Amino acid sequence: MSEVTRKNAGVVPATDIFEMKDGFHIMVDLPGVKSEDLVVDIEESELSISGSSSYAPADNNLRKMHTEFGNNVYQRRFTLSELVDKEKVEAVLRDGVLQLYLPKAEAMKPRRIEIS
């Protein structure tokens, strides 16, 4: 593991990747992350997600009785397929889940070749 990776180490968020007729979808669980604290970058064929959650108790004077979750720095990278049209990737953050839509590139759609 390189030094750079270790320095950036955060939590790897749980992710679903699935294909539908219209293209690929990636769903990333990012509870407590606000859209302004989330960065999604595409660099060449690398898609990187990083975000930090800003969950806070309703009031700091409250007595903690039981704690099972807290704040995290989430980080994850994916290598995009050549099938994906990188220009048309869409991202929506809703109810603490990042939904990425990666449409298939037009040129990559299956095509029958006529035999003459």
Partner 1 sequence: MVIDFSSIYDTNNDLERFFDEMFRTSAFNLRRSVYPPLNVFESDDGYIVDVCIPGIDPNDIELTITARNLIVKGERKLMEGRYFRQERGAGSFQRVLSLNVPVDRDKVTAKSENGILRVTLPKAEAERQRKISITS
Name the residue nearer to partner 1 (CB basis): 94 or 111. 94
Residue 83 within binding range of partner 1, rule CB under 8 A: yes
20: contact with partner 1 by CB under 8 A = yes
Binder of partner 1 out of 7, 66, 109, 112 (CB under 8 A) = 66
Q: Tell the burial category of 33 from Cβ atoms under 10 Å away from its Cβ (0-12, 13-18, 19+).
A: buried
Compute CA 51 distance to the chain's CA centroid, rounded to the nearest angstrom.
9
Residue 10 in contact with partner 1, rule: CB under 8 A: yes
- In the range 27-46, which residues lie near partner 1 by CB under 8 A? 27, 29-34, 45-46
Number of Cβ within a 10 Å radius of residue 63: 4
* CB closer to partner 1, 66 vs 111: 66
Q: What angle do CA 45, 27, 70 make, to 5 degrees?
A: 110
